[in-house]
A and B are shown apart, each in its own frame.
Chain A
Amino acid sequence: MRALLWRALCREPRQLVRICLWSVLEAAPAFLIGLAVARAIEDGFAAGRPEIGLVWLAALGAAWAVAAVAARQIVLAVAAVAEPFRDDLLAHVVGGAVRRAAAASGARQDSAAVTRAGLQVELARDAFAAVVTTVRGFAFTVLSVALGLLTLAPGAAALVLPPFAAGLVLFLASLPLLARRQRAFLLADERLAEAMTAMAGGLRDIVACGAEDRQSARMAAHVDDQASAARALARATAVRTAALGVGGWLPVVLVLAGTPWLLSGGAGAGVVVGALTYVAQSLAPALGGLVHGLGVSGVQLAATLERITAVPPSPPPPVRCRPASAEVRLHEVTFAYGRWSAPVVDGLSLCVPEGEHLAVVGPSGAGKSTLAAMISGLLRPDAGQVLIGGVPADQAEHAARVLVPQEAYVFRGTLRENLAYLLTPPDGRAEGDDRPDGAEPSQSELEAVADALGAADLVAAVGGYDARLDPGALSAGQRQLIALVRAYLSPARLVILDEATCHLDPAAEARVEHAFAARGGTLVVVAHRITSARRAGRILLMDGGRVQAGVHDELVRTASLYADLVGHWQSEPVS
Chain B
Amino acid sequence: MLAGDRLVMHAVRRNAPWTAILAATAVGGAAAELALPYMAGRTVDAFVVADPAAVRWLAGCAAVVACVVLCESLGMWAGGVTGARAAARLRLGMLRHVLGVGPAVTRRFPEGELVTRAGLNAEEVARAPESVTGALALLVPTAGALVALTLIAPVLTLTLLAGIVLILIVLNTFLRATTTIAGGYQEAQGELAAGLVEALGGARTIAAAGTEDREVLRVLRPLPRLRLHGMRLWRANATAGVRAGLVVPLVEVAVLAVGGFMLAAGDLTVGELYAAARYAVLGAALSGALGPIGGLARARAAAGRMAEVLAVPRTRHGSRALPSGTGAMEFRDVTAAGLTVPRLVIPGGSLTAVVGRSGSGKSLLAALAARMADPDRGTVLLDGIPLPELTGPELRRAVGCAFERPVLVGDTLADAITLGRPTPDDAVLNGGPDGGPDGVLDAVTVAARADGFVRRLPHGYATRTMDAPLSGGERQRLGLARAFAQGERLLVLDDATSSLDTVTEREIGRALADGPGGRTRLVVAHRLATAAQADQVVWLEDGAVRGQGPHRELWRDPAYRAVFQGEEP
Contacts and interface: CB of A to CB of B under 8 A. Distances in A.
B80 A231 contact: yes
Interface in B518-569: 527-529, 532, 551-552, 555, 561-562, 564-568
Contact of A94 (B103, B216, B499): B216
Contacts of B473: 365, 544
Interface in A421-438: 421-422, 425-427, 436-437
A340 B395 contact: no
A363 B503 CA distance: 12
A337 B568 CA distance: 34
Interface in A71-129: 71-73, 75-76, 79-80, 83-84, 86-87, 90-91, 94-95, 97-99, 101-106, 109, 111-112, 114-115, 118, 122
Contacts of B241: 68, 71-72, 75
Contacts of B506: 575
Interface stretch (B269-277, B335-343, B427-435, B440-448): B269-277
A69 B238 CA distance: 9
Most buried by B among A45, A68, A206, A505: A45
A567 B84 contact: no
Nearest to A507: B568
B99 A215 contact: yes
A115 B106 contact: no
A211 B419 contact: yes
A269 B277 contact: no
Nearest to A245: B69
Contact of A105 (B72, B100, B207): B207
Nearest to A210: B396
Interface stretch (A145-153, A235-243, A324-332): A235-243
A338 B469 contact: yes
B323 interface: no
Given A114-B200, A212-B100, A403-B205, A53 B69 contact: no
A403 B111 CA distance: 32
A102 B218 CA distance: 15
B192 interface: yes
Interface in A262-311: 263, 269-270, 272-273, 276-277, 280-281
A109 B203 contact: yes
Contacts of A234: 76-77, 79-81, 83-84
B196 A98 contact: yes
A277 B250 CA distance: 15
A244 B29 CA distance: 14
B420 A211 contact: yes
Interface in B216-266: 216-220, 223, 226-227, 230-231, 234-235, 237-239, 241-242, 245-246, 249-250, 253, 256-257, 260-261, 263-264
Interface string B499-511: 1111110100000
Nearest to B485: A209
How many B residues are at the interface, by size bracket? 35 or more
B230 to A, nearest CB: 5
Given A91-B220, A94-B216, A471 B102 contact: no
A253 B66 CA distance: 10
A571 B552 contact: yes
Q: Interface of chain A, helix or strand or loop or mixed? A: helix
Contacts of B315: 207
Contacts of B88: 223-224, 226-227
Contact of A44 (B197, B260, B408): B260
B220 A530 contact: no
A207 B102 contact: yes
Contact of B260 (A53, A83, A404): A53
Contacts of B246: 64-65, 68
A401 B392 CA distance: 56
B439 interface: no
Interface string A195-236: 011111111111111111011100110011011101101110
Contact of A280 (B61, B278, B472): B278
Contacts of A94: 192, 196, 216, 219-220
B202 A365 contact: no
Given A115-B193, A196-B118, A543 B501 contact: yes
B80 A90 contact: no
B301 interface: no
B158 interface: no
A515 interface: no
A426 B210 contact: yes
Contacts of B561: 567, 569
A515 B210 CA distance: 25
Nearest to A33: B249
A546 B504 CA distance: 12
Given A338-B469, A365-B499, A53 B264 contact: yes
A405 B532 contact: no
Nearest to B565: A567
A242 B264 contact: no
B108 interface: no
B140 to A, nearest CB: 18
B103 A204 contact: yes
Contacts of A475: none
B45 interface: yes
A104 to B, nearest CB: 8
A567 B565 CA distance: 5
Contact of B220 (A90, A364, A571): A90
Contacts of B297: none
B47 A216 contact: no
A321 interface: no
Contacts of A566: 565
Contacts of A242: 69, 72-73
A410 B202 CA distance: 8
A212 B303 CA distance: 24
Interface in A402-417: 402-405, 407-413
A79 B231 contact: yes
B458 A340 contact: yes
A342 B450 CA distance: 11
A426 B213 contact: yes
B453 A569 contact: no
Interface string B412-424: 0000000110100
Given A365-B498, A405-B204, A471 B198 contact: yes
A87 B227 contact: yes
Given A71-B241, A270-B270, A277-B274, A203 B105 contact: yes
B231 A98 contact: no
A489 interface: no
Nearest to B278: A280
Interface stretch (B6-14, B161-169, B399-407): B399-407
Contacts of B36: 252
A109 B84 contact: no
A154 interface: no
Interface stretch (A11-19, A54-62, A453-461): A54-62
Contact of A257 (B58, B91, B271): B58
Interface string B475-515: 01001001000100000000000111111101000000000
Contact of B270 (A273, A545, A546): A273
A452 interface: no
Given A75-B238, A427-B210, A409 B201 contact: yes
A40 interface: yes
A211 B418 CA distance: 10
B396 A569 contact: no
B173 interface: no
Contact of B565 (A69, A80, A223, A530): A530
B95 interface: yes
Contacts of A544: 473, 500-504
Given A41-B263, A68-B245, A259-B54, 7 more contacts: A94-B196, A105-B206, A210-B395, A223-B95, A227-B84, A339-B469, A409-B204
18 contacts: A41-B270, A50-B264, A60-B253, A114-B197, A115-B193, A200-B114, A207-B103, A208-B370, A239-B73, A273-B270, A281-B281, A337-B469, A340-B456, A340-B458, A342-B452, A365-B476, A409-B204, A567-B561
